[in-house]
Amino acid sequence: MGTERTKIITHIATARSWLAANSRWVLILTLILALIFPFSVKTYILSLGIEVLIFAIFAMSLDLLLGYTGLPSLGHAAFFGLGAYILAYVSSNSELALGLTDNLLITLPIVILGTALSAVILGFLALRTSGVFFLMITLAFAQMLFSIAIRWSSVTGGSDGMTGVPRPTLGIGTWHLSFTDRADFYYLVLAFFCITWFLLRYIVRSPFGLALRGIHANEQRMRGLGYNTFRYKFTAFIVSGVIAGIAGMLLSQYFWHAVPHNLFWNMSGQALIMVVVGGPGTLTGPVIGATLMRLLPNFASTYTELSETLMGLVLILFVLLAPGGIFGIFHKKR
């Protein structure tokens, strides 16, 4: 047993140093693989890939709060679902919605504004508290939106949600791009994923991101150093909410509808599991977590309950045994 263990540890250490030395090549290789992905796989796997990317965006946005700033939000589905519903309201052709346009140049700013506004309201209230109370307020907010979405059926479509959401287009004047086809939509999601990844990487490496990590480590000391910590947390909350909203928008476009389940606490819980299992406080971690957690239901698809039970068990095991997540096993934290 003992020698086995040391062997595994040395293997992991080798993998670790190899990854650290070649991280750029790994990144480029991953990107190339992601680009040729639609040509090489069946539609079923392609749709799985789209889902994984959308949930990776969602999980990364939560990680900015949970992993970097240390704010345990259990209401992130609020923004995810709001993004979906706002887009559906603007572009769906059902009689409940406005059905204005499916042009991303118009719908995207509306989604960003709407989710940012709700993040301002929730952040202003919730960030007065911390720890468990923050978790409960965010959960309560999402749950309130969920019950509105279910009950106020004359506006939201009730438990059926809003149907008839079109895949987006992109156009100015006569120049026009359509993403109706699954493979085209995959590239759009991939583009959003890359933008989010680089934006978040820029944010967490900037002085602002360092301040967020400082708040995670010791908020009182940061305050003592003269940082207005509320302002930092508030900004991070809004950025994170907007990115989650964009992920929700993409999901509703992909599945042609916005449903109340997008707002349910189960969704927030799944995002949290993705972050914690993948590796909180990193950007690769949530992506790994999202991949794993979206693939899990497919392996256990004959027992639908089993996959969710497994999800919870995996979460508990990782918290108990590997608090750095999967990424933390292969990557030494600096």
Partner 1 sequence: MLRNALERFSWVAFLLWCLRIGVIALVVWGASATLLSGRYSASNWISLIVAGLAQGSVYALIALGYSLVYGILLMINFAHGEVFMAGCFTAYFAARALESSGYLAKHPLLTIGALLIVSMAVSTIVAVLLERLAYRPLRNAPRLVPLITAIGASFVLQYTFRGLYGSGFSAYPTFDILRGRWMVAGASIQIVQVVVFISALLLMAVLYWFVERTKTGKSMRAVSEDKEIAALMGIDVNRVILVTFAIGGLLAGAAGVLRGLYQPQGISAFMGFIPGLKAFTAAVLGGIGNIPGAMLGGIFLGVFESIGPNLVLEGLGIPGANQLRDAIAIVMLVFVLIFRPQGILGEKLSEEKA
Minimum Å gap between C-beta 268 and partner 1 is 9
- Nearer residue to partner 1 within complex by CB, 148 or 170: 148
Minimum Å gap between C-beta 310 and partner 1 is 9
- Nearer residue to partner 1 within complex by CB, 215 or 273: 273
- Nearer residue to partner 1 within complex by CB, 16 or 213: 213
Phi-psi region of 302 (alpha: psi -120 to 50; beta: other; left: phi over 0): alpha
95's tokens:
């009689």
- Nearer residue to partner 1 within complex by CB, 26 or 155: 155
Minimum Å gap between C-beta 206 and partner 1 is 25
- Nearer residue to partner 1 within complex by CB, 148 or 295: 148
- Written as one letter, the residue type at 144 is M
Minimum Å gap between C-beta 139 and partner 1 is 7
Report helix, strand or coil for 170: strand
Minimum Å gap between C-beta 9 and partner 1 is 22
Report helix, strand or coil for 175: strand
- Nearer residue to partner 1 within complex by CB, 152 or 198: 152
Per DSSP, 261 falls in state G
Minimum Å gap between C-beta 65 and partner 1 is 12
- 308, 166, 237, 109: which is closest to 229 by C-alpha? 237
What count of residues does the chain have?
A: 334
Minimum Å gap between C-beta 272 and partner 1 is 6
- For residues 72 and 54, the answer to whether their CB atoms sit within 8 Å is no
Q: How far apart are CA 221 and CA 201, in angstroms?
A: 25
- 319, 287, 269: which is closest to 60 by C-alpha? 287
- 276, 44, 98, 253: which is closest to 293 by C-alpha? 276
- Written as one letter, the residue type at 193 is F
Q: How far apart are CA 162 and CA 263, in angstroms?
A: 13
**φ/ψ (deg, to 5) at 176:** -150, 130
Q: How far apart are CA 130 and CA 210, in angstroms?
A: 20
- Note the residues at the interface with partner 1 (CB under 8 A): 70, 72, 74, 124-125, 128-133, 135-137, 139-141, 143-144, 147-148, 151, 265-266, 269, 272-273, 276, 303, 305-306, 308-309, 311-316, 319-320, 323
- Nearer residue to partner 1 within complex by CB, 118 or 196: 118
